[in-house]
Amino acid sequence: MEYRKIGNSDLEMSAITFGAWAAGGWMWGSTDRNEAIEAIQAGYDLGVTSIDTAPIYGQGESEEIVGDAIKDISRDKLQLVTKFGMRWDLEKGDLAFKSKDNNGKDIDIYKYAGKESVIYECEQSLKRLGTDYIDLYQIHWPDSTTPIDETFEAVARLVEQGKVRYAGVCNYNVDQLQKANETIEIVSNQIPFSMVNRGVEKETVPYCIENNKAVLAYSPMERGLLTGKITVDYHFEEGDHRKGNPFFKPESIERTNAFLARIKPLADEKNASLSQLVLRWTIERPGITIALVGARNKQQSVQNAKAIDVKLTSDEIQFINDELKTAGF
């Protein structure tokens, strides 16, 4: 595995980091707890020492699964990354969207990062994860109802108390990132990035490169689209958020699969899967520090971790970039 420094911090994370959203089941059409635990442990055995989760994933379930998976692993060998600022148990802040929990009960999700809420959420996350500190604590989405400095004063207090090591953000634009950085040093920004979704390269990634902020790329496989296994007639389980997503419309699937067919010979040549080729390309992209990758079971987790073994020359990266351009991505 390769390990990369996060901004100006002393924190190093595995270039392939385990993303535990799907492990929580919520918005992915269910989860198998034991398989999720095995997936995390199998990744760890191959050097995936960093795990990214959030309270909202399964309304606490993902964090609890992570806690179970790591309970016998020495804490100093892990980097635990979680979030705050999305409440399903408090009607305050911006209403983000309406959803259903894993039992099918209606819930309203609010973006809220008031000071008292940040402190409360941290305590809950520490309990669920079974740890006394979080390596990287990130706001999940911007909250327009709370001043940014108020939110990050709370994070600064948690750092002083030793409950959090470093502060990060997710889904922040450059202005928001600069504002947060006035209160506490922000070491990273977790943003959506994939071969077919590269809008953040216009402003956010260049800012992060210039100011030494790590970029944690989420959905690098575009929620499974870039595996090449999604067909036009693919059936999504009830509760799977991908149903109706523009990336999963028939014309998008066809266009993406045609592109993947053109780069597949390169994957074959490397004795790698398409997913592994995509992940290696992602972490070679300028400014991208970490790729956050989900896995529902041990096999997927092992495959993700082994993407690190794929080596790409500059000519091969250029070939992929040219094919992306030809496909109109």
**Mean pLDDT in each 10-residue stretch from start to end of the chain (329 residues)?**
98 97 64 89 98 95 95 97 97 93 89 98 98 98 98 98 98 98 98 97 98 97 92 80 84 95 98 97 98 93 97 98 95
Residue 116 in domain: yes
Number of domains in the chain: 1
DSSP 3-state assignment of 247? helix
pLDDT for position 29 = 53
For 171-297, list the strands marked E by DSSP. 186-192, 214-218, 290-293
| Beta-bridge mates of residue 260 | none
DSSP 3-state assignment of 298? helix
pLDDT for position 26 = 58
HEC assignment per residue over 108-156:
EEEECCCHHHHHHHHHHHHHHHCCCCEEEEEECCCCCCCCHHHHHHHHH
End-to-end CA distance of the chain: 29
Residue 224 — left, alpha, or beta (φ > 0 → left; ψ -120 to 50 → alpha)?
Answer: left
The Cα 246–Cα 308 span in angstroms is 30
DSSP 3-state assignment of 310? coil
Domain span at residue 196 reads 3-223+275-311
Cα–Cα distances (Å) from 118 to 125, 299, 304, 319, in that order, read 11, 36, 32, 45
Question: Which residues, including other chains, have CB under 8 Å from residue 322's CB and lie 6 or more apart?
Answer: none
Cβ(90)–Cβ(55) below 8 Å: no
Residue 231 in domain: no
Residue 178 in domain: yes
pLDDT for position 242 = 81
The Cα 208–Cα 205 span in angstroms is 5
What is 168-183 written as a DSSP string? Answer: EEES--HHHHHHHHTT
pLDDT for position 301 = 95
Q: Give the distance, in angstroms, between the CA of residue 10 and the centroid of all CA atoms in the same chain.
A: 20
Residue 233 in domain: no
Q: Indicate which residues carry an active-site annotation.
A: 57
DSSP 3-state assignment of 121? helix
Q: What is the CATH number of the domain that holds 144?
A: 3.20.20.100
